[in-house]
Amino acid sequence: MKTPKRLIRTLVILFTALFPVATYAQSENPNPPVEPVKLIFIHHSTGENWLTDGNGDLGRTLAENNYFVSDTNYGWGPDSIGDATDYPNWYDWFLGPESGRYLDALYNESGQNSDYTRPFSDPGGENQIILFKSCFPNSDLGGSPNDAPAEGEWYTVGHAKYIYTQLLDYFITRPDKLFIAITPPPLLDSANAINAREFSRWMVEDWLNTYPLDNVAVWDFHNLLTDPDNHHRFVNGALEYTVDHGSGILFYDSNGDEHPNHAGNQKATAEFLPMLNIFYNRWIANAPASASTEQEAQTQPQAGEATPEQGVPLSDPGWIFGVGALIDDFESGPPPGTEGWQAFWDEANPSTTLSCGIDSSMSQAGAASLRVDFYIEPDSWATCALTYNSAPGFADSSGIAFDYQAGAVGLHFNIDAYGGSPEARSTYHYVIETVPESVDGWVHLELAWDQILRVEWEENPGSPIDPVQINGFALGFDTYADTPNSGTIWVDNLEILDSSQPPADAEEQSPPVAESTPKPAPAEDAPASSTGRRLCPGSSALIGVVLLGGVWVERKQRRKAA
């Protein structure tokens, strides 16, 4: 029997209530970090002016508060993604099919694209804080001020709320990063000024009402620029948020130009820095351990070595997984005791690519699923994997189950399970090909543990995995001989079957797919996968079938998540 996603979310909320993830002191802490912290700002011309020495002085002032600042601008990054900072583009940055490439570049960027002072050297490691802001055209929102989030017409209040709500699906998977949304500056045109004002107000007052972590914050750049008496600041030991002065249009214009002037930018800097420090101190008090030690030296991968694309630092909540429960519904953040899903690939072959993440437009149940887009060159590989910091406790379970949907028939991949120790993982896999039913709807698959066998290039090939030893799962992608393997797969409801819930009768299944060409074992410092691959956040066992021995297939109707 399936465990409903609603129940899983309820358990997460209950767990959070019993063991709170955030505890605040009586007053907020506006003091800057003690050690340098790496920060990157995604922006265009308004952000550039704000950062620039002699204009907004934001870059220099951030440095004075111990932030090492980098930034993007027009033309930056893979596919020149820096050109795209309208609010709908944030989906591409954080959740789209190429988001893995964009975010890897973003987290590792340490260059300047604006003119500001950086008085100390790069402390090393990834950027920990991500500021992102759209420019003033995004304040021209249609619709009505109180419209609810809706997937409908673009550049409306409802659609803007919808996009920002989707972003939380990614942010919750990265408690090791602090994401700060800066609201777009106002326009001089009053036609939609109230819509823009109320959208920015919604961001501050409503967007994060049910979000359980402290790694996302909002600062209202928009409203403080509409009147001298509007503020979003920390003053006299308390937070002040005032938006009800003026008419909602830009007060601090540059002689009719909608770029905020020097006075507006200076006001923004003075109000933002204490707020940033508060957001940082809230987050770091409860962030994963690796976030607070990000400044320590990091070992960089060698050429051709498998390295994580994204992931969440290991945590140990002391929660042993119960059988008959979901491993991941792709809506509740990383499963407890894991780094989250990560992407790994064959770096020796630059044409091989894999990206995976949460897709809120597709689900079998609930509001999201895992999407994996892949292109695998012949004799190459890629993988998405989830590893636990200790064996979760699957002794009384009989197998694994999930739902999947595919972009095409005949896509080739494996479901992998890991055993052994984190330093020397052993790999077991089951080879799959997507069936016609998976293109038109969701297919449900159930695999017994004795169907998932030791890979042929390791010791004792063909032996089944012992569920007691399982400490990770992956979706592995390689190819048939001399043939690329590319496409898209969605996965939902990855769950463990308990002993009273055995997988369906093997006699109901089709023959298994032929084995693919064996691949060498992975590097020791990377989590292994069925063919020695790499990992992807928010990705779960993608499984299609020709239907393999012992797999039960049930066609389910496709539906869009609201």
Q: What is the 3-state secondary structure (H, E, C) of 266-280?
A: HHHHHHHHHHHHHHH
Give yes or no: residues 233 and 126 share one domain.
yes
pLDDT tens, 207-257?
A: 999 999 999 999 999 999 999 999 999 999 999 999 999 999 999 999 999
Q: How many CB atoms lie within 10 A of CB 502?
A: 12
Give yes or no: residues 283 and 343 share one domain.
no
Reported as type and span, the H/E element at residue 71 is strand 67-71
pLDDT tens, 104-143?
A: 999 999 999 999 999 999 999 999 999 999 999 999 999 9
* 228 falls within a domain: yes
pLDDT of residue 537: 29
pLDDT of residue 43: 96
Give the number of domains in the chain: 2
Distance of CA 280 to the CA centre of its chain: 19
What is the pLDDT confidence band of residue 12, given thresholds at 50, 70 and 90? very low
Give yes or no: residues 394 and 523 share one domain.
yes
Give yes or no: residues 360 and 270 share one domain.
no
Report d(CA 384, CA 542) in Å as an integer. 9
Give yes or no: residues 491 and 438 share one domain.
yes
What is the pLDDT confidence band of residue 332, given thresholds at 50, 70 and 90? confident
More confident residue, 17 or 163: 163
Reply yes or no on whether the pLDDT at 458 is more than 50: yes
Give yes or no: residues 92 and 196 share one domain.
yes
Give me the CATH number covering residue 503: 2.60.120.430
Distance of CA 461 to the CA centre of its chain: 35
pLDDT of residue 357: 82
Over pLDDT 90: what percentage of the chain? 52
What mean pLDDT is predicted for residues 270-293? Answer: 85
Which position has the token pair 């408690």? 175
* 299 falls within a domain: no
Report d(CA 79, CA 101) in Å as an integer. 10
**φ/ψ bin of 277: left (φ > 0), alpha (ψ from -120 to 50), beta (otherwise):** alpha
Report d(CA 358, CA 331) in Å as an integer. 8
pLDDT of residue 504: 61
* DSSP annotation string for 115-159: -----S----S---EEEEE--GGGG--BS-TTPPP-SSSSSBHHH
What is the pLDDT confidence band of residue 336, given thresholds at 50, 70 and 90? confident
Q: How many CB atoms lie within 10 A of CB 278?
A: 18
Residues 6+ apart with CB under 8 A from 421: none
Give yes or no: residues 285 and 336 share one domain.
no
Give yes or no: residues 337 and 279 share one domain.
no
Report d(CA 457, CA 245) in Å as an integer. 70
Distance of CA 366 to the CA centre of its chain: 18
* 231 falls within a domain: yes
pLDDT of residue 300: 35
Q: How many CB atoms lie within 10 A of CB 142?
A: 16
Report d(CA 359, CA 96) in Å as an integer. 8
- Per DSSP, the three-state class of 511 is coil
Reply yes or no on whether the pLDDT at 541 is more than 80: no
**What helix, strand, coil percent values describe the chain, rounded to 5?**
25, 25, 50
* 87 falls within a domain: yes
Reply yes or no on whether the pLDDT at 531 is more than 60: no
What mean pLDDT is predicted for residues 504-531? Answer: 38
pLDDT of residue 518: 36
* 5 falls within a domain: no
Reply yes or no on whether the pLDDT at 83 is more than 50: yes
Report d(CA 293, CA 33) in Å as an integer. 12
Q: Name the nearest CA neighbour of 292 among 104, 40, 108, 34.
A: 34
Single-letter amino acid code for the residue at 239: L
* 10 falls within a domain: no
What is the pLDDT confidence band of residue 390, given thresholds at 50, 70 and 90? confident
Give yes or no: residues 402 and 536 share one domain.
yes
What mean pLDDT is predicted for residues 65-85? Answer: 96
Reply yes or no on whether the pLDDT at 522 is more than 50: no
Domain boundary, last residue among 241, 270, 292:
292
* 108 falls within a domain: yes
Give me the CATH number covering residue 207: 3.40.50.1110
Domain boundary, last residue among 275, 292, 309:
292
Domain of residue 191, residue span: 33-292
pLDDT of residue 389: 78
pLDDT of residue 109: 96
What mean pLDDT is predicted for residues 343-364? Answer: 84
* Cα→Cα distances 481→229, 316, 519, 530, Å: 69, 42, 12, 17
Domain boundary, last residue among 271, 292, 313:
292
pLDDT of residue 388: 83
Q: How many CB atoms lie within 10 A of CB 235?
A: 11
Report d(CA 562, CA 28) in Å as an integer. 36
